[in-house]
Amino acid sequence: MRVKIAEVVDNYSLDVLNAVIPNYWDIKRRLNDLSGRITEHRARKDVGAEIGITLDRYVADVDVIKGFYDDLLAYGPELDEYATRLAEQERGHRRKDRREQWLIATGSAVIGGLLVALASYWWLGGY
């Protein structure tokens, strides 16, 4: 189940996850705790007289993880929409940056050309 959660989460940037899922870090911390507990349950499943209790705790923890996965899937459309919007904003900023760079380069070339023309005119004695 943890692999399935990772597959979904890996598709989105941290900015998108934090914006859409308000308690993302709490969920992530809880998932890490649950993973550790599940590992402990698996280690103790064949030891002692509390096999039934250990199995019940294991099943309960796995159900919580399944709930997180289901919640994550429910956020899917919002995650996709926000990621698309963010990508469009970034493209707009890049276009604006390229336009500004082009204007600066063109302006610099024109000013440089004028300065060379004026210097040549002055140098040749046309002042």
Is the pLDDT reported for residue 8 higher than 80? Answer: yes
- Comparison of pLDDT for 124 and 113, the residue scoring more: 113
Average pLDDT over residues 97-124: 83
Higher pLDDT, 116 or 46: 116
- The predicted model scores a pTM of 0.58
Q: Are 20 and 75 in contact (CB under 8 A)?
A: yes
- pLDDT of 28-55, one tens digit each? 899 888 888 887 777 766 566 567 777 7
Contacts of 34 (CB under 8 A, 6+ apart): 61, 64, 65
pLDDT value at position 81?
A: 92
Q: What is the pLDDT of residues 52-104, one digit of tens each?
A: 777 788 788 888 889 889 988 899 899 999 999 888 888 767 777 777 888 88
Sign (positive or negative) of CA dihedral 75, 13, 11, 9? negative
